[in-house]
Chains A and B, each alone.
Chain A
Amino acid sequence: MKRHLLSVDDLSREDIERILGRAESFAEVSGREIKKVPTLRGRTVINLFYEASTRTSSSFELAAKRLSADLVSIKAQGSSVDKGESLKDNIQTLSAYDPAAVVFRSPHAGAAGLVARWTPASVINAGDGKHEHPTQALLDLYTLRRRAGRLEGLNVWIVGDLLHSRVARSNILAFGRMGCRVTVCGPPTLIPRGIESLGCEVRITLDDLAQADVVYALRMQHERMTGSFVPSLREYAAQYQIDGRRLGAGQLLMHPGPVNRGVELSAEVIDSPQALITDQVESGVVVRMAVLYELLAGGSGPPRRADDPSRPASEPQPA
């Protein structure tokens, strides 16, 4: 496993299997009354968010805390970024605290990769512009495997705004790597030219949606309307909304959240037993624990300083 997690492309199938397995073992811990393990005691994790986030930032915070790391969470608003400090200077300043990991969210593609060049810490990409969101893809794989029992051979349809979705890009790669067949579907104006080179089929109607084992709906962002990518949300919903008529009885439904009820999903499917949406949120913590563990304690992480007081890496156990 590489030192950073910047893209799903950094992960081999074996890496993914190992992370999912590790997440399973953390899930057992999470079921206990005391949910902490001492793995990262004495080590520092910095959560640096240059863009608003609720579930990603909170689940990374919980994940770091459950691994007993010292956690610093910084949001761009109100920080030195507001005073005009450049990204490079900001990272080098924070690196002076000797963090083991920097979890970084940015509105710009490739920003996590830049950060990785400027800090000795392991960098975890928590979303970079419309590029990638690899931990989302991992928690989706984890959630789906738990429910479906397998990933190999599953037929996954990713439906919606492919153009502006980092989740879509990471998930096309991740599902593909685990042996799923991936089809993307959405209005032609929201499908980037050349997306098939990521290893997916492209459809512009839901006519063949019945082929899917899993329907992964993407968030339709209202602000995209201004660019007239679709004529109206009403027309979008009429063409692409996953509702009770379109979602077959045997199909599973996923969504990265937050959901626009009545736009990409109807209320009935959100609340149906086929929906994995709340499972996905729940998986966020254990999968991010597993990612932190793999990068920092999994054996191939960066060497620690000699004066690091934390215990050597070990299998997770209750504190």
Chain B
Amino acid sequence: MSITLDSLLDRADLASAGLLIRRAHLLDPRAGLDGPGDLLVRGGAVAEIGAPGALEAPAHAEVVEAEGLHAFPAFVDPHVHLRTPGREDEEDIETGTRSAAAGGYGAILAMPNTDPVVDSASVLGSLRERARAEARIPTGFTAAVTMGQRGEQLTEMAELAQAGAAGFTDDGLPLRSASIMRQALAYQRLARRCIALHEEDPALSGDGVMHEGEVSALLGVAGIPSVSESTMVARDTELAAYEDGFIHVQHVSARQTVEVLERARAAGLRVTAEATPHHLLLTHECVRGLDTHYKMNPPLRSEDDRQALIDGLRSGVLGCIATDHAPHAREEKEEPFEVAPMGVTGLESAFAAVHTDLVVPGVLTLGLVVERMTAGGEPFGLAIPTLAKGAPASVCLVDLEAEWEVGESGYESRSSNCAFAGRRLVGRVRMTIAAGAVAFRERSFAIGAVA
């Protein structure tokens, strides 16, 4: 791995784990690992990999009997709303990162659409400081592209980059002006961070609150057409080509967008993209009951769009799975559909939902899903976690047989607006080790216990 930006991630000072994971199924396609084995964590790194039962636990090391469990590189989510500063009643750095760890994540990137917006080095600096006190897992902070996310004036991107911004995005809002977008791409040569884009043409989205299609026609609810997204992606890939910039397209939802991205990549542009579990697994049919747990932006689209996303994930045009974890207060979601805010939580259910609906039925291989769940930092220059010897120890232990109901025992997140609430899923994260320290352990998964 070349120079990465991992040093920009912050975390509370947790003790390095001394840990022997015994007889797990080690699965890391990038490292060529797929079979039972032992994995020794020492000094924050993967110290040794051995045949099942072959490694001896050093003194004072915890032994985890993991027979029947899978060990993956811990996941990376490049798209999380920690709601801090401003809405700590919905999420804060501690609860958000605990939620991520419970979902098997070893690193996340937080979005800057907070109150105040992360558009100055001082706000960014205070967040990084809090993360060093509170974050359970390494957490990076993105900064806004424009001041106050108003789309009018660039932030001090060079200074923000020096202060540790992991990337730039006005997520939640599109960059309306093509001219501002172009300037941001030109200025990227100085700031040298990825620009992540929430792609939507507000003129086409209008008052829309769900996918424009037969369900919105039936409900009389204003729709957001697929072309609202794809036309903006087309614009921005053209601009990125012209300015030789690199962009990351967030939460792709429409077939047309996948097709635009395919053309852009075929032309050699540096454009990456993500898809969320809810867009990969759910469609606008869910919205028929006007349940606000299915309200998010971009909206759940048609089955045809969903299939295009799955194909895009398989081909790699969509290089990673991101949750767009967006906590909202209960009273805000207990409003009529058109009034309630957009967004759903998803850190704790992401892997299990994708595993249940795509891996178990054989649509995607487990290996591919693990690759896409771990690749979220790559567009931002972060190293992809690996189980290979010598790498920082970021591991999640998952029981692929365990069935559970989403929300049955509450959430680690402070909010409960999960799109999969009440669903029975197969696959449960038992333990997460993030950058060498134990970040999550299921309560019943005691030290040394046989799973």
> Using a CB–CB distance below 8 Å, which chain A residues touch chain B?
86-88, 106, 108-111, 113-114, 128-132, 164-166, 169, 192-195, 197-198, 227
Do A110 and B217 form a contact, CB below 8 Å, given A86-B331, A192-B223?
no
The 8 A CB mask of B197-239 against A (1 = contact, 0 = none) is: 0000000001000001111111111110100000000000000
Question: Are A197 and B338 within 8 A (Cβ)?
Answer: no
> Using a CB–CB distance below 8 Å, which chain B residues touch chain A?
206, 212-223, 225, 289-290, 331, 334-339
Do A130 and B336 form a contact, CB below 8 Å, given A113-B289, A193-B212?
no
| CA of A106 to CA of B221, assembled, Å | 13
Looking at A86, A108, A109, A227, which has the most chain B CB atoms within 10 Å of its CB? A109
Question: Are A193 and B223 within 8 A (Cβ)?
Answer: yes
| CA of A130 to CA of B225, assembled, Å | 18
Q: Which residues of B contact A166 (CB under 8 A)?
A: 220
Question: Are B289 and A109 within 8 A (Cβ)?
Answer: no
Q: What are some 29 contacts across the A-B interface (CB < 8 A)?
A: A86-B331, A86-B335, A88-B331, A108-B336, A108-B337, A108-B338, A108-B339, A109-B290, A109-B337, A109-B338, A113-B290, A114-B335, A128-B336, A129-B221, A130-B220, A130-B222, A131-B221, A132-B220, A169-B218, A169-B220, A192-B212, A192-B216, A192-B223, A193-B214, A194-B214, A194-B215, A197-B214, A197-B217, A227-B206
| CA of A194 to CA of B289, assembled, Å | 18
Question: Are B335 and A87 within 8 A (Cβ)?
Answer: yes
Chain B nearest Cβ from A315, distance in angstroms: 36
| CA of A132 to CA of B221, assembled, Å | 11
Q: Which residues of A contact B212 (CB under 8 A)?
A: 192-194
Chain A nearest Cβ from B376, distance in angstroms: 34
Q: Which of B214, B220, B225, B334 contacts A109 (CB 8 A)?
A: B220
Cβ-closest chain A residue relative to B339: A108
Do A194 and B219 form a contact, CB below 8 Å, given A86-B335, A113-B289?
no
Chain A nearest Cβ from B32, distance in angstroms: 48
Chain A nearest Cβ from B330, distance in angstroms: 10
| CA of A108 to CA of B215, assembled, Å | 16
| CA of A166 to CA of B218, assembled, Å | 10
Q: Which residues of B contact A87 (CB under 8 A)?
A: 335-336
Inter-chain CB contacts under 8 Å: number: 75
Chain A nearest Cβ from B207, distance in angstroms: 9
Chain A nearest Cβ from B202, distance in angstroms: 14
Looking at B219, B222, B289, B334, which has the most chain A CB atoms within 10 Å of its CB? B219
Question: Are A129 and B223 within 8 A (Cβ)?
Answer: no
Q: Which of B218, B336, B337, B339 contacts A197 (CB 8 A)?
A: B218
Q: Which residues of A contact B225 (CB under 8 A)?
A: 193
Cβ-closest chain A residue relative to B332: A86
| CA of A87 to CA of B337, assembled, Å | 13
| CA of A114 to CA of B293, assembled, Å | 13
Q: Which residues of A contact B289 (CB under 8 A)?
A: 110, 113
Chain A nearest Cβ from B204, distance in angstroms: 13
Question: Are B221 and A130 within 8 A (Cβ)?
Answer: yes
Chain A nearest Cβ from B327, distance in angstroms: 19
Looking at B216, B220, B289, B339, which has the most chain A CB atoms within 10 Å of its CB? B220
Question: Are A131 and B334 within 8 A (Cβ)?
Answer: no
| CA of A108 to CA of B223, assembled, Å | 14
Q: Which of B220, B335, B339 contacts A131 (CB 8 A)?
A: B220
Question: Are B336 and A192 within 8 A (Cβ)?
Answer: no
Q: Which residues of B contact A227 (CB under 8 A)?
A: 206
Q: Which of B213, B334, B338 contacts A86 (CB 8 A)?
A: B334
Chain B nearest Cβ from A50, distance in angstroms: 10
Q: Which residues of B contact A108 (CB under 8 A)?
A: 336-339
Chain B nearest Cβ from A190, distance in angstroms: 12
Looking at B212, B225, B337, which has the most chain A CB atoms within 10 Å of its CB? B337
| CA of A198 to CA of B339, assembled, Å | 25
Do A194 and B217 form a contact, CB below 8 Å, given A108-B337, A109-B336?
yes
| CA of A47 to CA of B335, assembled, Å | 20
Chain B nearest Cβ from A221, distance in angstroms: 14
Q: Which residues of A contact B221 (CB under 8 A)?
A: 109, 129-131
Q: Which residues of B contact A169 (CB under 8 A)?
A: 218, 220
| CA of A219 to CA of B442, assembled, Å | 59
| CA of A111 to CA of B336, assembled, Å | 5
Looking at B212, B217, B222, B335, which has the most chain A CB atoms within 10 Å of its CB? B217
Chain A nearest Cβ from B344, distance in angstroms: 17
Q: Which residues of B contact A165 (CB under 8 A)?
A: 220
Do A88 and B214 form a contact, CB below 8 Å, given A109-B219, A130-B221, A166-B220?
no
Question: Are B334 and A195 within 8 A (Cβ)?
Answer: no
| CA of A248 to CA of B183, assembled, Å | 62
| CA of A164 to CA of B219, assembled, Å | 11
Chain A nearest Cβ from B209, distance in angstroms: 9
Q: Which residues of A contact B206 (CB under 8 A)?
A: 227
| CA of A132 to CA of B337, assembled, Å | 14
Q: Which residues of A contact B223 (CB under 8 A)?
A: 192-193
Q: Which residues of B contact A86 (CB under 8 A)?
A: 331, 334-335
Chain A nearest Cβ from B342, distance in angstroms: 15
Looking at B206, B217, B221, B336, which has the most chain A CB atoms within 10 Å of its CB? B336
| CA of A308 to CA of B393, assembled, Å | 69
Chain A nearest Cβ from B340, distance in angstroms: 10
Question: Are A129 and B220 within 8 A (Cβ)?
Answer: yes
Do A110 and B218 form a contact, CB below 8 Å, given A87-B335, A87-B336?
no
Looking at B206, B212, B290, B331, which has the most chain A CB atoms within 10 Å of its CB? B290
Chain A nearest Cβ from B425, distance in angstroms: 25
Chain B nearest Cβ from A170, distance in angstroms: 9
Q: Which residues of B contact A131 (CB under 8 A)?
A: 219-221
Cβ-closest chain B residue relative to A191: B217
Do A193 and B217 form a contact, CB below 8 Å, given A108-B339, A109-B290, A113-B290?
yes
Question: Are B337 and A192 within 8 A (Cβ)?
Answer: no
Sort A-B residue pairs by CB-CB distance and give the 4 closest, nearest first. A194-B214, A110-B290, A108-B336, A130-B220
